[in-house]
Structure 1
Amino acid sequence: MDILLISHGPFCNGIKKSLEMISGNMENVTSEEFKPGQNPSDFRNILAKRVEDLYNPEKGLIVMCDLKGGTPYNTILYLVKDYPKLKIITGMN
């Protein structure tokens, strides 16, 4: 099962690097950051493409997010309706 890490700024990239420092290369874990000043609709388009590429209808997809209620969370919540086996976990740290 693939895991997508999303966050405000590069936090998700740092989490991924820390995981790889402990466990080695993690090919099934990717990250996508909401950059400072980025338009939320642009982020939605980027995230929609990333989810489309990663989603497997048999296995599903886990999306871990930094903060419930923020732009990354709200964006993935908007997309979840099209992916029945997409699971969101908030409070990533």
Structure 2
Amino acid sequence: MIGVIVCMHGNSALELVKSAEMICGKQENCYAVNFTMGESLDELSEQLTNKIELLSQPLICLTDLKGGTPFNTLVNLKKQYSNIEIVAGVNMPMLLELFVSREQMAMPELLETIIEAGTAGVYQYVTEKIVDEDEEF
């Protein structure tokens, strides 16, 4: 099974994983790593290294923001751990798709699928305006 690390600013990683588990059930081979206010880069790197070492390889690391500290730290760790994939912009649809598909798909297909799910999950609801035929323009 492909391992999963979700690393985000604040407590978002833990809360996102917990919310997804409400829908998909408890996940094995998955860790949330929060990057909290005042935490050093070395501390974050150590946390991530510990989790990477605990998980089976290959693994997918999801972050909140391209160019943010969690993303940049994982990019640096990828030099050491070549079997990790990093995807920024995580959202609930992406994580849910990853949880339900990671046992059935190979890495290239899985990456494409979760990115599509994340993109498709962004949606704006717009109320349709009902036009009155008697209304003049």
Kindly provide the CA deviation profile for residues 16-68 of structure 1, in whole angstroms up to 9, marking residues without a partner as x: 01111101111122110111111111111121121122142xxx010000101
Q: What are the within-5 Å matches in structure 2 for residues 9-28 of structure 1? A: 9-28=10-29
Instruction: Please say which of residues 45-54 and 4-13 is displaced more in the overlay.
Output: 45-54
Match of 1:84 in 2: 82
Instruction: Give distance in 2, aligned partners of 1:34 and 1:55.
Output: 22
Gaps of 5+ in 1: none
> RCO higher in 1 or 2 (8 Å CA, sep ≥ 6)?
1
The number of equivalent residue pairs is: 90
Q: Alignment identity in percent?
A: 36
| Aligned-residue RMSD, C-alpha | 1.1
Q: Secondary structure at the match of 2:37?
A: coil
Gaps of 5+ in 2: 92-137
Structure with greater strand share of residues = 1
Partner SS state of residue 63, structure 1: strand
- In structure 2, the residue matched to 1:7 is 8
The letter for the 1-side match of 2:44 is F
Larger radius of gyration: 2
Give 1:84 shift. Answer: 1.8
Q: TM-score, normalised by structure 2?
A: 0.62
Structure 1 stretches of 4+ moved >6 Å: none
